[in-house]
Amino acid sequence: MDPPRDANDDILPFRAAAPTAVPPNQRFSLERLSSAFARLMGAPATSSAKTAVAKPQIALEPDEAPEEDDSLPVTPRMIVEGMLFVGNAEGKALAATKIASHIRNVSAEEVDQIVGELNAAYRQDETAYEIVGDAAGYRLQLRSDLGILRDQFRGQQRAAKLTPAAIEVLSIVAYRQGVSGEELNKLRGSQSHAILAQLVRRHLVRVERAKEGARVARYHTTSRFNQLFGVSSPADLPRSEDLDDS
């Protein structure tokens, strides 16, 4: 037998409607997902789905977010110093224009200014290195006054001094690239073959022949000569009127 109907049932039908229950398996899945999400975000898991979903929001507060903005900004000074530290494969100097081409809104003149600031900082901090510049560009290297320490560390011996006769022969070869042994003898008025052989052994002079098996040998200075005398090529050597033909 049906229970008697209340008079208000027709006016407020929703009061008689019971809340729809969540199936146990669905509630269990929601709680599991919420709990897993909370653990993923670093919040403690709870048995309430509502609490578990709300908790992860705490982990997203700005003061707990990854501090990406605190990284050290890259400045033109850092780029200049880094390029000079790395250098290039050939070991050549880096021109200011070359350095400036890799830095946005920085000119070659500003690179020169940055190099001066770096050297000033090196001197103040008493570092073991310095930036040296010439017509070819800039190099970062060990301070010149510490060169002896470098040689001792590497176990290198001091280069033997050249005799006045060897210097004379080397000078003639440097200013007269491709000179032959006979031409050297005439210019000096004495034999030069033994001295030439010594300079070849020291890798200051190299021998070239026009054709394989040719008897006439021509002598040229080497890249080691350029390095020791601080020039990029023999053309950079100072000119001497004493070596002009007369």
Residue type, 159: A
For the ranges 29-43, 110-124, 209-223, the lowest mean pLDDT is seen at: 29-43
Percent of the chain with pLDDT over 90: 30
pLDDT of residue 220: 94
Average pLDDT score over the chain: 74
User: What is the pLDDT confidence band of residue 231, given thresholds at 50, 70 and 90?
Assistant: confident
Check: CATH 1.10.287.610 for 164-243? no
Secondary structure (3-state) at 220:
strand
pLDDT of residue 14: 43
pLDDT of residue 40: 52
Most confident of 23-37, 60-74, 106-120, 123-137: 106-120
Where do the CATH 1.10.10.10 domains begin and end in the chain?
Answer: 76-154, 164-243
Burial per residue of 164-193, b for 16 or more beta-carbon CB atoms within 10 angstroms, e otherwise = eebebbbebbbbbeebebebbeebeeeebe
Cα angle value 217/223/227 (rounded, 5°): 140
Residues 165, 149 contacting (CB under 8 angstroms): no
pLDDT of residue 144: 80
Percent of the chain with pLDDT over 70: 61
Nearest to 170 by CA among 150, 155, 192: 192
| 76-154: CATH, from 3.60.9.10, 3.40.50.1980, 3.40.50.970, 1.10.10.10 | 1.10.10.10
Which residue has tokens 């560390």?
Answer: 153
Whole-number Å distance between alpha carbons of 196 and 218? 11
Residues 71, 109 contacting (CB under 8 angstroms): no
Kindly state the average pLDDT of the residues 183-210.
89
pLDDT at 158 over 90: no
Which residue has tokens 């407020």?
Answer: 12
Give the number of other CB atoms < 10 A from CB of residue 157: 7
